[in-house]
A and B are shown apart, each in its own frame.
Chain A
Amino acid sequence: MNLSVNVGKLKLGNPVIAASGTFGYGEEYSGFTDIGRLGAVTVKGLSLSPREGNPPPRIVETPAGMLNAVGLQNIGIDSFIKDKLPFLRQFETRVIVNFFGDSISEYAEAAARLSSAEGVHALEMNISCPNKQAGWSIFGTDPKVTFRVVSAVRKATAMPLIVKLSPNVTDIAMMAKAAEDAGADALSLINTLTAMAIDINTRRPKLANITGGLSGPAIRPVAVRMVWECYRKVKIPLIGMGGIMSAEDAIEFMLAGATAVAVGTANFVNPGAAVDILQGIKTFMSARGIRSPRELTGAVRC
């Protein structure tokens, strides 16, 4: 059995990736799981300068899921390269760096700066963040804006470029097409769904930020549907995520069209979740004589 997969130009030893924002900078999980066994680790979203993030409370549990409003807190690209990247270089595991900006030029500059860092294997651009130039609307909800920002980043880097799509749109396949046309090598989906929870006794929102992003098993059927829609629309490979808790969940995403899968919230419940899921995928494949994960991608019978 050969577990390796190609996500565009990015070659992975296996299709299981840790999702951005749920695996810290990797080192938080050492002592809890074997990081070296993962196909890739995606680090917490980075920006040119450090961000403080939102005030607490930032997280609240909801039925089979959770809301977060961390607010993209991060240490900044320079500290990441200096203090965090050396730890990640010791593994075979590929390092995907998730990043964002407040403007198109910031995105491009961030991509350029990350491209020259030793030990970064791919860039994942998070377009689910507010565009300061355009009155804080989200980069990832208008296909024209998405095309412009991805094109600018494409010019700034020769690295494998993954665009992470926001699910908070009417037609995700249209967004996927815009990113593909602008030169993306692959797509990640889905990011969290914008959501809200209210304490009925105090009548106040449960999060200080009022709204937050829903993740976990509650969003999985939405995510599977979106992967399937994008698979039919674009040719570039997809990384599927959203509520993956088990190998069965991961395989469901592959059948819908994912080449690789990312495990997010499940890492919080069980820091060994991603490695367990990889093991479960192997067991599933060998029981059915499947020789490569590629045989599963898009194999849903509709």
Chain B
Amino acid sequence: MSRLFEASVKENRRLTEKHYLLTFNPLKKIRRPGPGNFFMISAGNGLDPLLKRPFSLHRRTGSGIRILYRVTGRGTAILSRKRPGDVLEIIGPLGNGFPARRAGENTILVAGGVGIAPVFALAEHLAASAKKPVLFYGAKTGSDLLCIDELKSIGIEPRICTDTGDTGRKGPVTGMLREFLGKNPSFSEDCCIYACGPESMLRSLSALAGEYGLRGYAALEQNMACGIGACLGCIVNTTRGYKRVCRDGPVFPLNEIIW
């Protein structure tokens, strides 16, 4: 099965001022993507912008695949103007994805900002099991919070905090998690953490997990050109040397990442 395919846009819905939810239908059979996998998606059709942009699997919908993205620059601005029926050129699914937790293990999910996109995919996957994950979700303001209803519909009640404090608790998501671990020995003694979000959040999460000796994984971002491990452009420094985010990741053990 080729991992280079065309897809037709089914829906491109605006969620907030900056966030969109895009569903595409691959025009041929593709490999089934899992939580933490990503796709390289063409923004324009010409030579500028040139490179494809990486986006995580957010949700599978019957025959379609959904990504959740934030408009941050030229490529995502062009993507936000795609209409149903427009054709996208895509490579994927790519990357290692989130590893499975141990049977019966407690699970904590941590999302910062648009990091909820892949974390939701994992939450949906885990919500079906007996041990539901606990999800911590931080954003700048209440209006930046995404997929709250979808989370509830899969039976997950997110623990929310914002920088402004207009919704949920005020302060960083790691502060809220620290308090939770203090009060819940069944988690602080043994659990697995999965996270995606801004570097500052992942960095303090690594420190927190280290303090408690907890296992954890983070989905990382780096500028990418090829997405398939060929250009060596997307490296991250780890205890095992430089690794490619696209091919060796994007998910890495928290205790291996050198910030």
Kindly identify which residue among A55, A58, A265, A267 contacts B232, using a CB–CB cutoff of 8 Å.
Answer: A58
- In the complex, residue of chain B having the shortest beta-carbon distance to the beta carbon of A60: B223
Report which residue of B42, B49, B223 has the largest number of chain A beta carbons within 10 angstroms of its beta carbon: B223
Report whether A56 and B236 are in contact in the complex, using a CB–CB cutoff of 8 Å: yes
Report whether A217 and B47 are in contact in the complex, using a CB–CB cutoff of 8 Å: yes
Contact with B along A252-265 (1 / 0, CB 8 A): 00000000000001
Query: Which residues of A in the span 205-257 have a Cβ within 8 Å of any Cβ on B?
Result: 216-217, 245
Kindly identify which residue among A52, A55, A63, A268 contacts B225, using a CB–CB cutoff of 8 Å.
Answer: A268
Query: Which residues of B in the span 68-116 have a Cβ within 8 Å of any Cβ on A?
Result: 89, 91
C-alpha spacing A22/B235, complex, angstroms: 15
- 20 other contacts beyond A22-B226, A268-B227, with CB at 8 A cut-off? A22-B231, A28-B226, A29-B230, A32-B4, A52-B241, A53-B242, A56-B234, A56-B235, A56-B237, A57-B222, A60-B223, A64-B47, A66-B50, A66-B225, A68-B225, A68-B233, A216-B47, A216-B50, A265-B50, A270-B89
Q: Is A23 an interface residue (CB 8 A)?
A: yes
Q: Is A280 an interface residue (CB 8 A)?
A: no
Binding site for A on B (CB under 8 A): 2-4, 42, 47-52, 89, 91, 222-237, 241-242, 247
A selection of 11 A-B contacts at a CB cut-off of 8 Å is A32-B228, A52-B242, A56-B236, A58-B233, A61-B51, A66-B225, A216-B47, A267-B230, A268-B51, A270-B89, A271-B4
Contacts of A292 in B (CB 8 A): none
Query: Which residues of A in the span 1-60 have a Cβ within 8 Å of any Cβ on B?
Result: 21-24, 28-29, 31-33, 44, 52-53, 55-60
Report whether B235 and A58 are in contact in the complex, using a CB–CB cutoff of 8 Å: yes
Contacts of B51 in A (CB 8 A): 61, 66, 268-269
- In the complex, residue of chain B having the shortest beta-carbon distance to the beta carbon of A58: B233
Shortest Cβ distance from A241 into chain B, in angstroms? 16
Q: Is A131 an interface residue (CB 8 A)?
A: no
Contacts of B4 in A (CB 8 A): 32-33, 270-272
Instruction: Given A66-B51, A73-B242, A270-B4, answer yes or no on A59-B228 (Cβ-Cβ < 8 Å).
Output: no
Main secondary structure of the interface of A (DSSP, over half): loop
CB-based closest 9 A-B pairs = A59-B233, A24-B230, A28-B230, A268-B226, A268-B225, A64-B48, A64-B47, A217-B47, A28-B229
Contacts of A31 in B (CB 8 A): 2-3
Contacts of B49 in A (CB 8 A): 61
Binding site for B on A (CB under 8 A): 21-24, 28-29, 31-33, 44, 52-53, 55-61, 63-66, 68, 70, 73, 216-217, 245, 265, 267-272
C-alpha spacing A216/B224, complex, angstroms: 15
Shortest Cβ distance from A55 into chain B, in angstroms? 7
Shortest Cβ distance from A18 into chain B, in angstroms? 10
- In the complex, residue of chain A having the shortest beta-carbon distance to the beta carbon of B227: A268
Shortest Cβ distance from B232 into chain A, in angstroms? 5
Contacts of B242 in A (CB 8 A): 52-53, 73
Report whether B236 and A23 are in contact in the complex, using a CB–CB cutoff of 8 Å: no
- In the complex, residue of chain A having the shortest beta-carbon distance to the beta carbon of B242: A52
C-alpha spacing A272/B233, complex, angstroms: 19
Contacts of B234 in A (CB 8 A): 56, 58-59
Report whether A59 and B225 are in contact in the complex, using a CB–CB cutoff of 8 Å: yes
Shortest Cβ distance from A257 into chain B, in angstroms? 24
- In the complex, residue of chain A having the shortest beta-carbon distance to the beta carbon of B74: A61
- In the complex, residue of chain B having the shortest beta-carbon distance to the beta carbon of A206: B223
Contacts of A63 in B (CB 8 A): 48
Report which residue of B4, B222, B224, B232 has the largest number of chain A beta carbons within 10 angstroms of its beta carbon: B232
Contacts of A270 in B (CB 8 A): 4, 89
Report whether A24 and B233 are in contact in the complex, using a CB–CB cutoff of 8 Å: no
Shortest Cβ distance from B80 into chain A, in angstroms? 18
C-alpha spacing A60/B74, complex, angstroms: 13
Report which residue of B224, B225, B237, B242 has the largest number of chain A beta carbons within 10 angstroms of its beta carbon: B225
Contacts of A57 in B (CB 8 A): 222-223
C-alpha spacing A73/B230, complex, angstroms: 12
Report whether B228 and A271 are in contact in the complex, using a CB–CB cutoff of 8 Å: yes
Kindly identify which residue among A59, A60, A217, A272 contacts B231, using a CB–CB cutoff of 8 Å.
Answer: A59
Contacts of B42 in A (CB 8 A): 269
